[in-house]
């Protein structure tokens, strides 16, 4: 039995997503929320395996919920469900710890397929997101721009290679063929990239907060 958090403010869409989630996880126990506030309350009360989080909500951004969940329940998988397909919206969510994203207007069968893939550990990765990740790690690796005490998170050569291929517009199956790697291996690289992005971003954010004096114990 899967415990799933569903955060979506539009009732029709929430119903639609819920129906599809039940297709993928027939045994799921779904907790619904329409606001960031409610979702945060649910997170502090229950443990979830999967959270489907909308970004633009009446009382804030779903990114905060993703970050809170990553903080308190690291094993939970956050998936962003959004109408925004641009990396300006998606990248912060991925940095906060989201493990993939789904576009709301997709036909039901695509949505189900994507959700299945994500739940099986195959998150999607678009060229523009890949470019953002490359740029992010390039900046991290510049010693003069990196604070001294920031834990150094770097990508392996293979991870970099996969990112570069994606950034050039190649699909994950194509890259698998190209590198002579199985679909699961490629998916593992992508998962690893997301994880490292999150770890590095969190360390950076903590350091920034410390620098600003927000951490006063």
Please report, as residue ranges, which positions from 150 to 169 form the binding site for another protein (by CB under 8 A): 166-169
Question: Given the DSSP bridges, would you call strands 50-53 and 77-82 parallel, antiparallel or unpaired?
Answer: parallel
Which neighbouring-strand residues pair with 98? 78
Per-residue DSSP letters for 193-213? HHHHHHHHHHHHHHHHHHHTT
Instruction: For another protein, give the closer residue by CB, 137 or 165.
Output: 165
C-alpha span between 3 and 39 (Å, rounded): 14
Instruction: For another protein, give the closer residue by CB, 168 or 195.
Output: 168
Report which secondary-structure segment, H or E, holds 108: helix 108-119
Instruction: For another protein, give the closer residue by CB, 97 or 176.
Output: 176
- The site map against another protein for 109-148 (x = CB under 8 A) is -x---------------xxx--x-----------------
Residue 12 C-beta: closest distance to another protein, Å: 5
C-alpha span between 106 and 98 (Å, rounded): 19
- The site map against another protein for 175-214 (x = CB under 8 A) is ----------------------------------------
C-alpha span between 168 and 178 (Å, rounded): 13
Q: Which residues bind another protein (CB under 8 A)?
A: 10, 12-13, 16, 56, 83-86, 104-105, 107, 110, 126-128, 131, 166-171, 173-174
């Amino acid at each position: 039995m899967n415990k799933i958090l569903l955060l979506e403010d539009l009732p029709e869409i929430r119903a639609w997503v819920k129906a599809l989630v039940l297709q993928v996880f027939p045994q799921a126990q779904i907790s619904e929320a329409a606001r960031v506030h409610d979702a945060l309350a649910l997170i502090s009360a229950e443990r979830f395996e999967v959270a489907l989080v909308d970004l633009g909500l009446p009382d804030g951004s779903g990114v905060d919920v993703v970050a809170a969940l990553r903080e308190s329940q690291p094993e939970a998988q956050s998936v962003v469900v959004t109408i925004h397909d641009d990396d300006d919206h998606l990248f912060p969510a991925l940095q906060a710890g989201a493990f993939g994203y789904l576009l709301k207007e997709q036909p039901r069968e695509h949505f189900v397929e994507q959700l299945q893939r994500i739940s099986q550990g195959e998150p999607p990765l678009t060229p523009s997101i890949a470019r953002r990740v490359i740029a992010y790690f390039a900046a991290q690796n510049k010693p003069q721009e990196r604070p001294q005490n920031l834990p150094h998170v770097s990508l392996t050569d293979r991870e970099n290679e996969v990112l570069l291929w994606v950034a050039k517009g190649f699909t994950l199956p194509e890259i698998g063929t190209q590198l002579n790697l199985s679909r699961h291996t490629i998916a593992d690289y992508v998962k690893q990239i997301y994880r490292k992005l999150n770890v590095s971003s969190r360390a950076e954010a903590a350091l920034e907060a410390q620098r600003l004096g927000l951490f006063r114990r």
